[in-house]
A and B are shown apart, each in its own frame.
Chain A
Amino acid sequence: MIRLYNDLIIQTVCRIMIPLIQLFAFYVIAHGHYSPGGGFQGGCILGASFILMLIAYDINWIKRRFSENKNVILIALGVFIYALVGLLCILLGKEYLNYSAFQKLIPIDIARVRALGTLIIEIGVGITVMAVMVSIFLNLTTFGKHEKGEV
């Protein structure tokens, strides 16, 4: 059950830490080509930053900024981006998820086009994982009510 403590230390530390955590999450997603990381890991870190926000602050305060409708749309949007990239590859005349088809749109080296396609689907995976983490956390901790605890 989530309840509000209004603890100044916790809220100040979270205020400082959350932007850094989110920046690191974007770094993990975008830098997945060169270091351990990628969509799943970066999405988890990004979701953890929102969960930290939910723990430290009032749940209604969060819901006004990051509403449930937007969250559910984000869950579907990530999978949609992934599937859309595959469909675009078919429309451009290659196999499903064969990113070299994008060479017709962006005339650069074929290896770089494939790296770009990988990056786009990693972003889609990251969006889905982030929204799913927040959604499951909210539903489990508030027993599906999405409001403050009675205690």
Chain B
Amino acid sequence: MKVFALIIVIMTGGALVYSTLDMPDWGDPNSPASLHISPRYIEKTIEETATPNAVTSVLADYRGYDTLGETTVIFTAAVVCILLLRRIEDDKTL
């Protein structure tokens, strides 16, 4: 069973590595992200969001879903920390 799992993992990893060969070079100015999305954000930020800081407007406005997910990750970290570490029965002040 472990050998089977190992084969699956190696195949998945190989597929992922193979797919990265088709990706554009890191920082390539001709990649689709640099050609279409980045100029759009940089040019329209002030016009559309009245936010001179492009990082904030991308983080909180254009990609609000992403930031909601990040906040939920932090929330989950705190909840797990409380669940794993908190020892209510030892607390005499409660």
Q: Which of A4-12, A13-21, A27-35, A49-57 contacts B (4 or more CB under 8 A)?
A: A27-35
Asked if B77 and A136 make an inter-chain contact with CB atoms under 8 angstroms apart, the answer reads yes
- Residues in A with CB closer than 8 Å to B56 are 32-33, 37-38, 118, 122
For chain B, give the interface size range: 35 or more
Set B55, B57, B71, B82: member contacting A139, Cβ < 8 A:
B82
A interface footprint on B11-52 (CB within 8 Å = 1, 0 otherwise):
000000000000000000000000000000000001111111
Asked if A144 and B50 make an inter-chain contact with CB atoms under 8 angstroms apart, the answer reads no
Say if the beta carbon of A135 comes within 8 Å of chain B. yes
Q: Would A147 and B71 be within 8 Å (CB), given that A114-B48, A131-B78 are in contact?
A: no
Asked if A143 and B85 make an inter-chain contact with CB atoms under 8 angstroms apart, the answer reads yes
Closest A residue to B63 by beta carbon equals A97
A47 to B71, CA, bound (A): 15
Asked if A132 and B60 make an inter-chain contact with CB atoms under 8 angstroms apart, the answer reads no
A131 to B71, CA, bound (A): 12
A78 to B43, CA, bound (A): 31
Q: Would A132 and B51 be within 8 Å (CB), given that A118-B57, A144-B87 are in contact?
A: no
Set B55, B77, B81, B85: member contacting A36, Cβ < 8 A:
B55
- Residues in B with CB closer than 8 Å to A106 are none
Asked if B49 and A32 make an inter-chain contact with CB atoms under 8 angstroms apart, the answer reads no
CB distance from B26 to the nearest CB of A (A): 24
CB distance from B75 to the nearest CB of A (A): 5
Asked if A115 and B50 make an inter-chain contact with CB atoms under 8 angstroms apart, the answer reads yes
A25 to B89, CA, bound (A): 35
CB distance from A77 to the nearest CB of B (A): 10
Closest A residue to B57 by beta carbon equals A118
CB distance from A40 to the nearest CB of B (A): 8
B interface footprint on A84-104 (CB within 8 Å = 1, 0 otherwise):
001000000000110100000
Q: Would A35 and B53 be within 8 Å (CB), given that A111-B48, A139-B85 are in contact?
A: yes
Leading 5 A-B pairs by shortest Cβ distance:
A111-B50, A97-B64, A144-B85, A132-B78, A139-B85
List 21 interface pairs A-B (beta carbons < 8 Å), by A numbering.
Answer: A33-B51, A33-B56, A34-B53, A38-B60, A60-B93, A75-B78, A75-B79, A86-B68, A99-B61, A110-B48, A114-B50, A118-B49, A118-B56, A118-B57, A131-B78, A135-B78, A135-B82, A144-B86, A146-B86, A147-B90, A147-B92
